[in-house]
Structures are given as structure tokens and as C-alpha cells.
Amino acid sequence: MSILSKLQNNKGTVSSSLGKSLGQQVLKGDRDILSEAINIISFDDKNVRSGAAKIIETVAEKKPEYVSPYLSRLLPSLEVQEPQTRWVILHVLGLCAKLEPHISLKAFPKAEQFLKESSGMCFWDRSITYLGYIGSISENE
């Protein structure tokens, strides 16, 4: 069963355990799951998008070098409707900032927007975390 089918059948679940589990499978060697997650990050079902984002985040937390080649394909996810995908992908862009600084920096206006808006604690947390990663790669120390 493809991860698309698994994520589509995960509807109604508030837990991100499926995405985390699939991300762990990538870390154990099944890189095809990551490729599929990247390909469906713009899928028209929010459950699929947020599940794919969790897979990508789980991998980026341990192996950002697996995810960094795909960052430009993740940037449009900062515009999707559901908040979870947006804050997870912002975190991924921060996690990969040292490897792809020019692409990661393209999310800076979004992080700034999330901080200015009444976007809630998850957006604020991920925006501050993202800015910390960006600050760590700054040439001006």
C-alpha cells in the first residue's frame, strides 16, 4: 500500500503517529517513502498534506541531508490552508538551513508574518525556532 493510501485512510485522526512511523521507516533505509511524501505534499487532501509534512519533518530532524535537496519543492506548502502543514514545513526549512541557506531564507517573510499575526502558539514557536536556525547560519556573529 502506498503512503498516499495510508494517509488518505488516516482521516479523522488527530495524531501524527502514522507520519512519525513512516518517517522512522525512511531513517531505517526506505527512502522511497520520503520521495512519495515530497510528491504528495501539495495533494488536495489536508490529511495527506499534513501527514506527508510530518514524515518529512521526522526525517529532517535526524537526517536533514535527506530532505535538503527538496526544499524548493516544499516552499509552496507555506501557503496551504491548514496550519499544521505550514508550521511543520517552516520547521523543516529551519532544520535544513545550514545545508540550503538560500532556499531556507525564502521562508523568512512567512515566519515574520506568523509572528505578527494572531496565528497562535504553534506558529509562534515554529517561527522563533526557524529564526534561531537562520540566525545560526548568519555571517554576522
Q: What is the pLDDT of residue 10?
A: 81
Q: What is the pLDDT of residue 123?
A: 85
Overall domain count for the chain: 1
Domain range for 18: 3-136
Q: Band the pLDDT of 141: cuts 50, 70, 90.
A: very low
Average pLDDT over residues 58-81: 96
Q: Express each pLDDT in 93-127 by its tens digit.
A: 999 999 999 999 999 999 998 888 777 888 889 98
Q: What is the pLDDT of residue 103?
A: 96
What type of residue sits at position 79? Answer: E
Q: Is residue 141 part of a domain?
A: no
Q: Express each pLDDT in 48-68 by its tens digit.
A: 999 999 999 999 999 999 999
| CATH code at position 48 | 1.25.10.10
Q: How far are the Cα atoms of 6, 97, 132 from residue 135, in angstroms, in the given order?
A: 37, 10, 5
Q: How far are the Cα atoms of 16, 89, 97, 109 from residue 32, in angstroms, in the given order?
A: 20, 19, 23, 32
Greater confidence, 11 or 2?
2
Q: Is residue 108 part of a domain?
A: yes
